[in-house]
Structure 1
Amino acid sequence: MRRLPSLTALRFFEESARHMSFNKSAAALCVTPGAVSRQIRLLEDALGTKLFDRDHKGIRLTRQGEELLQCLAQAFDSIERVTRSLSSAKPGERKRLTVTAPPTFASRWLSPRLGALMDAVPDIDLSVRTDAADDRHCSIRFGYEARADHRSELLFIERHVLVGAKKYAGLPVETLLERTPTLHVLHNDVRLTLWPNWLDAAGLPRACAENGIEFSTLDQAIHAARAGSGLAVVDRNMIVDDLHDGALVQLSPVESSGPYGYWLDIAPSHAGLDCVQAFAEWLRGEGAKAAQL
């Protein structure tokens, strides 16, 4: 017979260690903070060692706590993968894959490639969300670094170019900047550094783009540029079709990269699912193609 501590206490410990807060773990487990504290105390008594150091700043794992967390995380991930697989392993049944993505990425990069995705992974029913869906299997995120608590990988980095409507083609960039509004994109209510970075790469003064029109999404800025309302510095990955059909024209050969890119984030509990692995593999291939354009 296995000699194991209380599985409830182990579950409470793992949740508390992930949140590094008894209050947050209590909310996630739908119990009171006092119940969490009692289970942690019972586990420490059973093991004969402290798992958390506690002070006025909060809690932190001891060396023994870190060792136990690493073991438990792997064990719980394995259990979750197997139980998910067993519960969904019905012959001939299609698997639903829920993916969250930024609006511009979803509409301008992912949507045109959905036919290729369905050919590559034909046995899934895909749900693409632009909000933080609780039932998501994986997320595509706009950011500049990996997410520590997920299996996080960079799909591709942004490649910024100066674009505008066809009527601006052939005119000197300096003249266009003097006469034409610049279009800016906000992220968390702050302008992205698309324009300053591009102007630095082009050897032009940043003052050229201090004013202009602001938008809450890149897609809005692209539509304004297509309509001839101004000049935009845009990630080339998002406007391949616009450049190909002439709706937008690249007005300078100068290109600036990053610092942001698009990342694929997968929670460890979902990393073993066949549909997630297949989707990730397809994304890697499409990301590699995008880097070569």
Structure 2
Amino acid sequence: MRRLPSLTALRFFEESARHMSFNKSAAALCVTPGAVSRQIRLLEDALGAKLFDRDHKGIRLTRHGAELLACLSQAFDSIERVTRSLSTAQRGARRRLTVSAPPTFATRWLSPRLGSLMDAVPDIDLSVRTDATDDRQCCIRFGYEARADHRSELLFIERHVLVGAMKFAGQSVEALLERLPALHVLHNDTRLTLWPNWLDAAGLPRAFGENGIEFSTLDQAIHAARAGSGLAVVDRNMIADELHDGSLVLLSAVESAGPYGYWLDIAAEYAGSDCVLAFGEWLRGEGGDIWRVGSLA
């Protein structure tokens, strides 16, 4: 069995090295600069070698980075030639994959990674829906248990942290909780238990989270928190870019888990579909170490 680093990370490295810019490579890959930076760090950690020197002027390849780029460029050129010829021969064999996902997951996790998906599964025409469409082949669902009538796979459990705008960094958490509103998220018209669960984990009174502002989606609460309108308890998997660029900051090291998570649900009639299986494989590979995978029949 081959022992290779993440192919996604190698692809991001090669694109960044050709452009000599994380921002330009992010645009070419249809992802965020934060996503590119994370993949480069993962690759450097896996190799145990620094690939770029970074300073206020930008990035430059190290000796190790230049060696890797020369090898990767030849390898990717060869792969591109072969796959292009195969794709041309099979041009009429494209398949449509319809996936439904919660709005926040679709916007904040899935959409920035679609470039990677198209690279991994280039012969699909993808349709992403945020409603429960009847023609979907698989569904990414926010919930706390498997669906008995589907093949349900737990992707990851939410990891809740307290966040706020940068201007609140370093201030007393209790003082902030006393003067700022709690930003709540509704699910089926009922508040999720994010606040009481986090306050319990932090050993703080639940009264801090009783009042505040309610939102229909997590994405709305995140935007309000970025604007300094209040404090939010949110899934850190959905705010990686904000934490990276500093538009949101962790106000406490306390983290609470669950009980909700994200599930991949596949109806029995689509369980053997090539494009559905390829999508599931891509999901597991793209998620890396945040997934807590557990297949449930």
Which TM class, normalised by the smaller chain length?
Answer: 0.5 to 0.7
Residue 287 (structure 1) shift: 3.1
Matching residue's letter, 2:252: S
Partner SS state of residue 265, structure 2: strand
Alignment of 1:96-135 (within 5 A): 96-135=96-135
Alignment of 1:90-239 (within 5 A): 92-239=92-239
Structure 2: how far apart are the matches of 1:269 and 1:162? Answer: 41
Structure 2: how far apart are the matches of 1:154 and 1:207? Answer: 32
Task: Kindly report the root-mean-square deviation, in angstroms, between the aligned alpha carbons of the 2 structures.
Answer: 1.2
Partner SS state of residue 228, structure 1: coil
Structure 1: how far apart are the matches of 2:289 and 2:121? Answer: 18
Instruction: State the number of aligned residues.
Output: 203
Structure 1: how far apart are the matches of 2:186 and 2:91? Answer: 47
Partner SS state of residue 275, structure 1: helix
Structure 2: how far apart are the matches of 1:121 and 1:105? Answer: 20
Q: Deviations over 1:4-32 (max 9, x none)?
A: xxxxxxxxxxxxxxxxxxxxxxxxxxxxx
TM-score (norm 2): 0.67
Identity of aligned residues (%): 82
Matching residue's letter, 2:286: E
Say which one has the larger Rg.
1
TM-score (norm 1): 0.68
Q: Which runs of 5+ in 1 are unaligned?
A: 1-89
Partner SS state of residue 219, structure 2: helix
Residue 234 (structure 1) shift: 0.3
Structure 2: how far apart are the matches of 1:204 and 1:148? Answer: 37
Aligned to 2:274: 274
Q: Which runs of 5+ in 2 are unaligned?
A: 1-89, 293-297
Structure 2: how far apart are the matches of 1:181 and 1:99? Answer: 36
Structure 1: how far apart are the matches of 2:137 and 2:259? Answer: 26
Structure 2: how far apart are the matches of 1:117 and 1:163? Answer: 30
Aligned to 1:287: 287
